[in-house]
Amino acid sequence: MSAALLPASATAASTTVETGHALGKKVLVTPSGRTLYSLSAETNGRFVCKGSCLSTWHPLVIKAGKKPTGAHSLGTIRRPGGQTQVTYRGKPLYTFAGDHKRGDAKGEGFKDVGTWHVASVGTTTNSPAAPAPAPSYPGYGY
């Protein structure tokens, strides 16, 4: 199992973050090609995705004391439960349970306690049409 796909309660010795393409953009992905996201409401070390949120959004975690590798502007932050989560430009990174294959970005624009966005590192010249609206999953009660 790839380190990036481990559940929130697991940690990996090292995590590599790569670049891939989704939604016509250059985005951050796990080694297996899963798109990475950040939540607009998670700023300045404040975690909003906790509890039932973690069943849909899986933190990209790494073993304490290790550094993520691959893309530029990566860092880490300590989650409320003590795990070390990978960040991009200071924002915690997650995978989305609704993405099943390389290039999926079904979590883009998902709104709950903030808005989820792919971790974009630039755009490509061949942007496709706007994606369909993101699904809404009521009843999380964050």
Tell whether 137 is covered by a domain: no
> For 104-117, what is the mean pLDDT?
94
Q: How far apart are CA 45 and CA 57, in angstroms?
A: 17
Domain carrying residue 104: 3-123
Tell whether 141 is covered by a domain: no
Q: In what order do the strands lie in the sheet with 120-123?
A: 69-70, 16-22, 25-29, 120-123
Tell whether 133 is covered by a domain: no
**Coil vs helix vs strand at 113:** coil
CA 30 to chain centre: 9
Q: What is the pLDDT of residue 3?
A: 39
> For 13-36, what is the mean pLDDT?
89
Q: What is the pLDDT of residue 14?
A: 59
- Which tops the pLDDT comparison, 129 or 18? 18
Confirm if 73 and 88 have CB atoms less than 8 A apart. Answer: yes
Tell whether 63 is covered by a domain: yes
Cut 0.85: pTM above it: no
Residue 5 pLDDT level (bands cut at 50, 70, 90): very low
Question: 20 phi and psi, to 5 degrees?
Answer: -145, -165
Q: How far apart are CA 68 and CA 66, in angstroms?
A: 7
Tell whether 18 is covered by a domain: yes
Confirm if 63 and 15 have CB atoms less than 8 A apart. Answer: no
In 20-32, which positions are buried (b, 16+ CB within 10 angstroms) versus exposed (e)? bbbbbbebbbbee
Q: How many domains does the chain have?
A: 1
Tell whether 129 is covered by a domain: no
Residue 71 pLDDT level (bands cut at 50, 70, 90): confident
**Coil vs helix vs strand at 77:** strand
Tell whether 30 is covered by a domain: yes
Q: Residue 86 pLDDT > 80, yes or no?
A: yes
